[in-house]
Each structure stands twice: as C-alpha cells, then as structure tokens.
Amino acid sequence: MFYEKRKLLENLTGVNSSKLNYYVELKSKNEKIVKQNEGLGIINQIVRGVNIDMTIGDIVKRAYSKIALAVPCDFLGLALLHKDKLYMKAAMPLNLNRSNPIPRESFLWECTITEKNEVYDSVHTEDPFITENPELEGKICSLVVAPLFIGATIQGILLVGSKMSFSYSPTESNFVKQLANQLTTCILNIKLYKQVSRANCEWEATFNALTEPISLIDTHFNVLRNNDHFPIPTDSDFSKGDKKCQKCFTLLWGRDERCEECPMEEIIRTGKPVDKRIQKDSGETFDISYYPVYDELNKLAGVINYIKNVTYKIKMEAQLIQTAKMAAIGEMAAGMAHELNNPMTAIVGTAQLMKRERESGDGESELLSDIILSGLRCKKIIQNLLTFSRQDEYPFAIIDLNKEIEGALNLIRYQIDRSEIEFIKNLLPKVLKINANGHRLQQVLVNLLINARDALDGVKREKKIEVSNSVYEDGNEKKWVITTVRDTGIGIASKDLPKIFNPFYTSKEAVNGTGLGLSVSLGIVQAHGGTIEVDSVLGEGSSFSVILPVCVDNCLKMCD
Ligand SMILES: Nc1ncnc2c1ncn2[C@@H]1O[C@H](COP(=O)(O)OP(=O)(O)OP(=O)(O)O)[C@@H](O)[C@H]1O
Ligand SMILES: [Mg+2]
C-alpha cells in the first residue's frame, strides 16, 4: 500500500520523468565522449603512420583510408596557400596533381578567407576541384571545412565531404578541426626536417667538394669530422696515421702525442685564427689554417683545420723570384759590360799600337804585352757578362757543354781566386754537343760554384774546388753527361741533405742566401730531362753532379 502511494506521488510530482531525462542525457553524453575518444584514436592512428619521407599526397591518402571510421567521408581534400595563391595540393579518392591555383572568386577561397571551422549542409559548389574528381561518382552535398593554422597564420584548409546532405554533427566538425591541427603539425615537421636535411646535405657537399683536407677538431684534439682527404699523401710517417684513432696528431701527422708546435693553446688564448706553414723532410710544403669554432654559449668548441699543399705554388714563386733576381743582375751586368767594352777596346788597341812601335825584347814591350793580355781577359769577362745577361727567350739548341762550363767559370773565377781556393779543372778534351739552353746551364753551374765557394769560407783545411765531367752509357744504351762540382768545404749533415733542394731552405745568413739557388737549378736541370745528385760528408766536403741526358744519338757528338 505504502509502495503504491509512493509511486503515485512520484508520478504526480514528475520525479520519474526527470530521472528518465537525466539518464537519456547521460547516455548521449557518454556516447559523445566515446565517439570523441574514438575520433582521437583514429587521429592518433593517422598521425602515427606519417613519416618524414611522405609527401602531402601520401598523408592525405593515409588520412582518407582511416577517416571514414570516424566521420562520413566521400571526399578528402587539402588546399594550401603559397605566395598568396591557393592550391589543391592533394585530394582523395583520386590524388590529382593540380598545378593551377584555385580561382579567387570560388567557394573554396571564401572558406579560406573566413578562417572558420564550418559545416556546409547544402553545398552548391560547382568547384572543379571537387566536382572534377572522376573517382567521385555523384555530388558532394555536405562539407566540413577546417582551417590549417601555423600560429595565427592561415596556411590552407582541410575539406571533408559527403554525398549525403546533413552528414556532419558539431562533434564531427570538431573532429575534422582536430585532424586539421594534427596534419598541419605533421606537414610543418616534414617541411622543417627537409629544410634541415637539405642544408645538411649542402654543407656536406661543400665540405667534400674541397680537394684539400679539412676537418673539425675539438679542443681535446679529437677529429669530429673530416672530408676524407687526409692523411696527406706524402712521406711514410703520414701513412702511420690510423684512421680509427681520431686524434688529429695521429690522423694527420702519424704521431702518438700532440705536436709541439700545435697552435690550439694560442687559439684558446686569443680566440683568433692561426696560419702556419710547414715543410716536410720530403720537401712538400703545406699551409695550414686553423679557424676557431664557437658553441651556442660562445665558448670555443674546437677548430676548423684546413690544409693546403703549396709545394708547387712556392716552387713557382721561387722560380719567379730567382728569375727576377737574375733579370736585375743581368740588366746591371749588361749596362756595366757595355760601358766597359768601349774603353777596354781603346786600351787594348792603343797598347797593341804602342807595342808595334817597340822592339821585341824591349822591357816596355813586355809591359805592353801584359796590358794587352789583361785587357783581352777583361774583354772576355765582359763578353761573358753580356752572354749571361741576355734577356731573350733562351731556346734549346745544340751547344758545346764545355764552352758553357768555361763561360760559367770565367764569370766566377775571380771570386774563387780571391778566396785563395785551389781551382782544378778536369774537363774532357772533347767537344760535348748536347741539346740544351746554354744560358740556363751556366746559371746552374754558377749557383753550384758559388755554393762551393761559400762552403769553403772559413775552412782551415786545404781549400779546393774541382770541376770535372765524364760521359757514361746506362743499361738502356742511353748516354749521359755528368758535370761535377766538388769542394773540400764544410759538407752537409745527412739530416739536412733531403732539405737542400727545398725552396727557401738556407743555412746561410739572410744577407748571403735566399735558399733558392739549388731549387731553381734542379728545376732547370729537370727541364732538360736530367737531375742533380749530391754526395756530401760533414766536415769533408760535397760534390754536386749535374746529369744531363742525351736523347737523340746525334745530339751528343764526341769529336776529337
Ligand atoms: N757545396 C755545398 N756545401 C755545403 N752546403 C751546401 C753546398 N751547397 C748547398 N749547400 C747547402 O744547401 C743550402 C741551400 O743552397 P741554395 O743554393 O739553394 O741556397 P743558398 O746558397 O743558401 O742561397 P742562394 O739562394 O743565394 O743560393 C745552403 O744554404 C747550404 O746549407
Ligand atoms: Mg746557393
């Protein structure tokens, strides 16, 4: 009875109906949340499958294959703004490549400008970008448009369409908006990644394009990166460098410990780039530049090390300097010789005239003979100076080697005699005809003779210079002429021997030596297809042999 009364009361007061309403509402809310969760799950699935190699077309295709699980979808399109123009970048069911921009008066442009997430329930669009999709049979009747934003800037729109009218609820419209947000992030990430990797590739290509070794080294001497152009291909100690050990002193110089002359400390102290030039025992010369590299906290992180082989360049520079030096000496000598030639002609001529008037055996006549002989000798020296200073092109010709040796000796003889050096000449008593440039060969011999004289400077022992030559035939029946300048001077230490042909290597004081003589001489002899060989014992003396080949048989004629 009591129970029935209560039921009646509940019916009359409406408690039952509000309870029912409450449950209905709860149920619909619950369904909404479930749907939203499902939607988020699907968005998650779509985004998870996106990777950096995908194009926008691939992303839209992937989204299209999943989206129907969350909302009705017969059409999915993604339009992007580029330089104030709107392009349909990708659309499904058929991913047409549309290169023309969407016309400004069109419905899609309007949707973009409004920047709103909207549902259009009766789309009267004849927009070709939707209607011309041949895979889409039928007409799109409802459409959700969601703007794609990066920050506050609109980038384009995402379109989800259905052939049915009134297909989309606000929840579904919200789903499309969330999907649009996620897709924007994906597209932005891919774009950024591609930009970074393109920049990286460009840097790597620049790094590798350099043909010289370049590396990034940290302050603990670890080589962090290099362009695979080292170890420097030179003498054996470089090849000791084990590529697995990434210390710069090992990789670059084949050492177990840091180099004594390493400029790292100087760079840490000054923060400024350092340039160095090093010369290996082999004669190869390298210019090394160290540029400091700073991290984001402006702290020195390491150095860029750039190595350039300048051996050829400095050889050319040496040739130029020597040529300029020779040209200057030649010009001066030519001037002097020219000025002296006329008075000498007059002196010799007058002496000859005076002698003719004297009886032979007369004391004065003998004095005049001395004047004539000395005068003639002076004229010969002048002639040599003129030959030496000739400024023409110096072409090769068949010449007599002994004549050139005599020419060189005449130029230097006075200096040798003045230094109280015994001079021995041991030349083959034959005409040695070779194909060469006489002036250049004289230049070589003068260099060797001056070096020999310098080596005897201050020597207490017997001072001797010997110039000799010989001919020999090698195993291939090839003939060679060897001209040797031997001295009993100070000699060369065996550790210095490999360096003497290096340009600018000199043991003499700056005023006496430029260190170019031998390098230029070697260059000249090599240009003749020959070489210079050295034999020296410290404290005993040296001998320099100029070896010249004879390529054609009749170039070397030995006539008695
Ligand atoms: N006959 C020699 N005896 C001993 N040392 C020599 C002899 N010839 C050359 N040298 C060594 O080789 C070095 C290089 O010789 P090179 O002729 O190239 O230059 P330099 O004589 O010093 O200067 P320059 O450019 O004026 O000739 C010399 O400084 C010297 O140390
Ligand atoms: Mg010299």
Question: pLDDT digits over 299-334, tens only?
Answer: 888 999 898 989 888 878 877 777 777 677 767 777
- Per-residue model confidence as pLDDT tens digits over 28-55: 888 878 877 888 888 888 888 888 888 8
Give all strands of the β-sheet with 285-294 in edge-to-edge order. 223-226, 214-218, 300-309, 285-294, 274-279
State the Cα–Cα distance between residues 14 and 240, nearest whole angstrom.
98
**Most confidently modeled range among 113-117, 271-275, 439-443:** 271-275
Closest C-alpha residue for ligand 1 atom 23: 513
Q: Which two tokens stand for residue 489?
A: 């001077």
The pLDDT of 455-467, averaged and rounded, is 92
305 CB less than 6 Å from ligand 1? Answer: no
- Report pLDDT for 242: 45
Give all strands of the β-sheet with 464-473 in edge-to-edge order. 422-426, 464-473, 479-487, 541-550, 531-537
Taking domain 317-559, whether its CATH number is 3.30.505.10 is answered by no
CA 508 to ligand 1 center in whole angstroms: 7
Cis peptide, bond prior to residue 503, ω within 30 of zero: no
State the Cα–Cα distance between residues 81 and 108, nearest whole angstrom.
12
The answer to whether 75 and 159 are in contact (CB under 8 A) is yes
CB atoms within 10 A of CB 485: 23
- 466 falls in which pLDDT band (50, 70, 90)? very high
The answer to whether 60 and 180 are in contact (CB under 8 A) is no
State the Cα–Cα distance between residues 341 and 70, nearest whole angstrom.
112
The pLDDT of 3-17, averaged and rounded, is 69
The pLDDT of 411-426, averaged and rounded, is 87
State the Cα–Cα distance between residues 496 and 514, nearest whole angstrom.
16
Check if 211-309 and 317-559 are the same fold: no
- Across all residues in the chain, what is the average pLDDT? 82
- 133 falls in which pLDDT band (50, 70, 90)? low
Residue by residue, DSSP assigns 257-290 as S--TT-THHHHHHH---EEEEEE-TTS-EEEEEE
Q: Please write down the long-range contacts of 59-67, taking CB distance under 8 Å and 24 or more positions apart.
A: 59/90, 59/183, 59/186, 59/187, 60/89, 60/90, 60/91, 60/92, 60/95, 61/90, 61/92, 61/95, 63/179, 63/183, 64/92, 64/93, 66/42, 67/42, 67/160, 67/179
CA 453 to ligand 2 center in whole angstroms: 10
CA 481 to ligand 2 center in whole angstroms: 22
487 CB less than 6 Å from ligand 1? Answer: yes
507 CB less than 6 Å from ligand 1? Answer: yes
- Per-residue model confidence as pLDDT tens digits over 222-234: 888 888 776 544 3
Q: Report the share of the chain in percent with pLDDT over 70.
A: 86
506 CB less than 6 Å from ligand 1? Answer: yes
**Most confidently modeled range among 233-237, 425-429, 430-434:** 425-429
Q: Which two tokens stand for residue 535?
A: 């034999």
Q: What is the pTM of this model?
A: 0.49
Q: Which atom of ligand 1 is nearest to the CA of 512?
A: 26
- Report pLDDT for 265: 85
CA 233 to ligand 1 center in whole angstroms: 28
CA 455 to ligand 1 center in whole angstroms: 8
Kindly identify the ligand whose nearest atom is closest to the C-alpha of 454: 1
Kindly identify the ligand whose nearest atom is closest to the C-alpha of 501: 1
- Report pLDDT for 551: 55
Kindly identify the ligand whose nearest atom is closest to the C-alpha of 450: 2
| SS3 assignment for 191-208 | HHHHHHHHHHHHHHHHHH
444 CB less than 6 Å from ligand 1? Answer: no
Q: Which atom of ligand 1 is nearest to the CA of 505?
A: 14
CA 521 to ligand 1 center in whole angstroms: 11
Q: Which atom of ligand 1 is nearest to the CA of 519?
A: 18
CA 379 to ligand 2 center in whole angstroms: 27
* Residue 89 host element (H or E): strand 85-92
- 132 falls in which pLDDT band (50, 70, 90)? low
Among candidate residues 115, 124, 95, the one with its CA nearest the CA of residue 158: 115
Among candidate residues 279, 146, 288, the one with its CA nearest the CA of residue 215: 288
- Per-residue model confidence as pLDDT tens digits over 357-381: 887 777 788 888 889 888 887 876 6
Q: Report the share of the chain in percent with pLDDT over 90.
A: 20
State the Cα–Cα distance between residues 159 and 147, nearest whole angstrom.
9
Q: Is 272 left (phi over 0), alpha (psi -120 to 50) or beta?
A: beta
State the Cα–Cα distance between residues 86 and 107, nearest whole angstrom.
12
- 512 falls in which pLDDT band (50, 70, 90)? low
Q: Which of the listed residues 453, 500, 520 should we mutate to test ligand 1's pocket, taking the one with most ligand atoms within 8 A of CB? A: 500
pLDDT at 514 over 50: yes
pLDDT at 532 over 90: yes
Q: Looking at the domain covering 211-309, what would its CATH class be?
A: alpha beta
Closest C-alpha residue for ligand 1 atom 19: 515
Q: Which of the listed residues 325, 451, 497 should we mutate to test ligand 1's pocket, taking the one with most ligand atoms within 8 A of CB? A: 451
Among candidate residues 43, 127, 12, 124, the one with its CA nearest the CA of residue 77: 127
- Per-residue model confidence as pLDDT tens digits over 248-307: 888 777 788 888 888 888 888 898 999 998 887 777 888 999 999 998 888 888 999 898
543 CB less than 6 Å from ligand 1? Answer: no
Q: Which two tokens stand for residue 558?
A: 């030995």
Q: Looking at the domain covering 31-195, what would its CATH class be?
A: alpha beta
- 536 falls in which pLDDT band (50, 70, 90)? very high
- Per-residue model confidence as pLDDT tens digits over 179-233: 999 989 888 888 899 899 899 888 888 888 888 888 889 888 888 888 877 654 4
Write down the domain spans for the chain. Answer: 31-195, 211-309, 317-559
How far is CA 90 from each of CA 52, 93, 99, 162, rounded to the nearest angstrom?
A: 17, 10, 11, 17
455 CB less than 6 Å from ligand 1? Answer: yes
Q: Which two tokens stand for residue 250?
A: 């090992």
Kindly identify the ligand whose nearest atom is closest to the C-alpha of 502: 1
The pLDDT of 146-175, averaged and rounded, is 89
The answer to whether 544 and 445 are in contact (CB under 8 A) is no
